[in-house]
Amino acid sequence: MAQFVLAGKANCPFYAKAELLADSLQRCLPDFRVHKVPVLPEDWEKWLEEICRRNGWIHQDSPLVWRELVDQGGKGMLLGGLRDFLQHCQDYYGITSDVQSDVTLSVASENLEAQMKLIAEEQHRISLVQPFHIWISSALSPTAHILIPHLVSSEVFPSIPTVSLHLLDLNGTQEDLQALMMETQNLALPLLHQAEFETKISEEHEKYGHLIDSRADKKVKVIVSCDSFANLKCSLLVGGAQSIDRHQFVAIATQLENAARAIIAERLKVKTSDVTDVIVWGNVSGECYVDLQRAKVFNYDGAVRGPAFFHQPVLKVEQDRKWLETDFQNMVRGRQAVVASKQRRETAMAAANGILSILKAWIGSCDPHVIFSLGVLCTGQHSLPHGIVFSVPVNFREGKWFPVCDVTLGDAVKNRLSLLHAEYRLFVSLHYTRGGGG
């Protein structure tokens, strides 16, 4: 069985003439099938160029007719324009068209009106959909490739009916972003409403903050995850988005937390997941201090054992304070670089896992007693000065994060925080002095 595809400008009388002949053949011949593709006049040239490029055809006018072998599949066979279609019908079926020009003009007008009505109805239907918008900057990075299937799933957003994904990468080409968009669409994820890409937005973080301020919902949640300047970038975003609650901007320290957990777990011969509630103070992608005062270890094979829920303080089990204050701190800060150098690429899985962990906690699918470390704009808690983005311990409850206030700040920790704050202030001032304000 053969199927003819008839495409043309919706207001084209030649397309209307071919359409009337095809309708007549379809009524007379049981095995004759036609599929019509009316295209708005302003979209025709771009549509025609794309279909010809994809199939290796050369054609310039409206209509465009090709033949598809339904039973055999494969690429369609170009027939040509109106004259070619009329000749084919005359040769194969002995039928031609004698429709008057006034009739074809009338049909062309009706086609255009019908097509515009269909588009208006579709636009109205789309306007009724209220998708959840997710923007990803540096969308061409390996981390983003891992994130996308998780973000457009009920795993992370169980109560979200549909998602619009916006892909941004100023270092990538339009072709790369279009390929990523198409790959995302090919995932056929039920929650995906649409995926689109953007290449012209300024990603200087203060200007990007202004963009978020003017275009995003006031309940937007912004997560900064990167290998360098995480605290500073988060601070610039907060400064640029003056009308949005500063609590909705965070820089994540999850990679540092998990690195610390892995090192402790290896030393205590337990699984990484058996170590919890590690605190990271300071500059997420710079000088920081890993604090184990609240850290717990489960399933430790020591003198005291208990059921699965039994845990012990890490500082009670690991008593080598010199190692914890020196080698351990250096190992945590250097672990990501070590892994990256061995893989010869960025630690994308760890970064994606950290983002997903914070997202799940932020939307409420997490034990409210679990401690996370986040770079947040300080408001005087823990004796830290107002107005700096600093990694501190937090809990998540009911879609919000709250600072953990009942941590013990002994003299040693206070001295550490004072040094970290001074180093961070120096780092920021040097960054601006060198003209790196964006």
Copy the structure tokens of residue 278.
């590690």
Copy the structure tokens of residue 309.
């829920």
CA–CA gap between residue 418 and residue 383 (Å, rounded): 9
- Calculate the CA dihedral of residues 314, 315, 316, 321 and round it to 10 degrees: 140
Q: Please answer whether residues 171 and 160 qualify as being in contact, where contact means their C-beta atoms are separated by less than 8 angstroms.
A: no
Half-sphere exposure for 243 (CA within 13 Å, toward CB): 9
Q: Please answer whether residues 348 and 141 qualify as being in contact, where contact means their C-beta atoms are separated by less than 8 angstroms.
A: yes
- Which residue carries 């379809």 as its tokens? 26
Helix, strand, coil percentages (3-state) for the chain, rounded to 5, are 45, 20, 35
For the beta carbon of residue 300, count every other beta carbon within 10 angstroms: 23
Contacts of 262 (CB under 8 A, 6+ apart): 272, 335
User: What single-letter amino acid sits at 394?
Assistant: V
Angle at 352 between CA 350 and CA 356, to 5 degrees: 115
pLDDT of residue 358: 95
pLDDT of residue 438: 43
pLDDT of residue 268: 96
pLDDT of residue 437: 46
Q: Which residues sit opposite 311 in a β-bridge?
A: 298
Q: Which of 255, 260, 273, 277 is nearest to 327 (CA)?
A: 260
Copy the structure tokens of residue 254.
């999850």
Q: Which residues sit opposite 298 in a β-bridge?
A: 311
Structural domains in the chain? 2-126 (3.40.30.10), 130-149+161-197 (no CATH), 254-433 (3.90.110.10)
**C-alpha distances in Å from residue 255, one per residue of 155, 259, 261, 340:** 21, 6, 10, 13
Q: Walk along the chain (438 residues) in steps of 10 and give the mean pLDDT of each run.
A: 87 94 89 90 94 91 86 72 93 86 91 91 79 91 94 87 90 89 92 85 68 89 90 89 93 94 96 96 88 95 88 94 94 84 79 94 86 91 83 92 88 80 74 54
**C-alpha distances in Å from residue 246, one per residue of 211, 287, 372, 388, 403:** 15, 23, 18, 11, 14
